[in-house]
Amino acid sequence: ISSDPPNSTQGPDTDKKAPQEKPVDKAGKNPTQEPEEEIDIDLDAPETEKAALAIQSQFRRFQKKKK
């Protein structure tokens, strides 16, 4: 009987804490890590356009598989 209440209490506690921990971890990691370097992307560059088309194509295939 004494082992049942801790298990039942830990189950909901961990379930409640898990969703809260993810945002806390993300927020907690950002200050500990170096600030993100701002990257300037030339949106008119041909290689950027090629990359965008490739990403869009893969995403469309993913959407078709999903259905």
Q: What is the pLDDT of residues 9-55, one digit of tens each?
A: 444 444 444 444 444 445 555 556 678 899 899 999 999 999 999 99
Helix, strand, coil percentages (3-state) for the chain, rounded to 5, are 75, 0, 25
Domain boundaries in the chain?
A: 1-32
Q: Say how far apart CA 58 and CA 10 lie, in whole Å.
A: 42
Q: Say how far apart CA 19 and CA 12 lie, in whole Å.
A: 12
Q: What's the pLDDT at 34?
A: 76
Tally Cβ neighbours within 10 Å of residue 6: 10
Angle 35-37-38 from CA coordinates, rounded to 5°: 125
